[in-house]
Amino acid sequence: MVKLTKIYTRTGDRGDTGLGDGTRVAKHDPRVEAFGSVDESNAVIGLAQLHAEGELHDLLARVQNDLFDVGADLCTPEQEAPAYPPLRVTTAQVEYLEGRIDACNAELATLRSFILPGGTPLAAHLHLARTVVRRAEREVTALMTGQTVNPEVLRYLNRLSDLLFVLARRANGNGERDVLWVPGANR
């Protein structure tokens, strides 16, 4: 269990931060950018959760907990024979999201157009969360070009953005209140 007795340490006052393995990197390091966007995704999902109830509220709480696992995974670079086994995202976490996507999507009408982000307050927050998760996903792929990253992290973020899209449609009356894009409507 984590025990935080002091919130500020002053160790980052020079523009660097510590990773899970103890190494120090610049706060603008690609790895820090990636887990920073995961943290931001978690915060936006927290805003969406304010508008959610019941099963959806619980699902978003589970996702928020998983996103801390994603952040922990990203902040600890892969290494041979680590002193302590690092927390890594698992295939089971990805498969759980896939199951939720399939179950939620089965109740939705087939899309005939792209959807504009919006509708109900919950749907709007879920769309915002989806876009932040997509940014985190892009940052993880950038990180993967130069460093080793658990591939389940990328799979998790990819599925999560899909889940948030489907949940936004559900929050819009199972798609009935989706705002559809009309190509060239304002030319």
| Residue among 71, 60, 61 at smallest CA distance from 130 | 60
Non-local (6+) Cβ contacts of 162 within 8 A are 97, 101
Phi, psi of 47 (to 5 degrees): -65, -45
Number of domains in the chain: 1
Has residue 16 been placed in a domain? no
Place 2 in a pLDDT band, splitting at 50, 70 and 90.
low
Residues 9-31, mean pLDDT to the nearest whole number:
81
Report the percent of the chain where pLDDT is more than 90: 74
Binning the chain into helix, strand and coil, the percentages to the nearest 5 are 55, 5, 40
Has residue 122 been placed in a domain? yes
Has residue 146 been placed in a domain? yes
Has residue 39 been placed in a domain? yes
Q: What DSSP string runs through 10-58? A: STTTTSEEE-TTS-EEETTSHHHHHHHHHHHHHHHHHHHHTT--HHHHH
pTM of the model: 0.92
87-145 pLDDT, tens per residue?
Answer: 999 999 999 999 999 999 998 988 888 999 999 999 999 999 999 999 999 999 999 99
38-51 pLDDT, tens per residue?
Answer: 999 999 999 999 99
146-169 pLDDT, tens per residue?
Answer: 899 999 999 999 999 999 999 999
Q: The domain spanning residue 105 has which CATH number?
A: 1.20.1200.10
Has residue 19 been placed in a domain? no
Domain of 48?
A: 24-74+85-172
* Residue 122 CA from chain centroid, whole number: 17
Has residue 55 been placed in a domain? yes
Q: What is the pLDDT of residue 81?
A: 72
Residues 13-29, mean pLDDT to the nearest whole number:
81
Has residue 120 been placed in a domain? yes
Q: What is the pLDDT of residue 109?
A: 86
What crossing angle do the helices spanning 121-144 and 151-171 adopt, rounded to 10°? 160
Has residue 36 been placed in a domain? yes
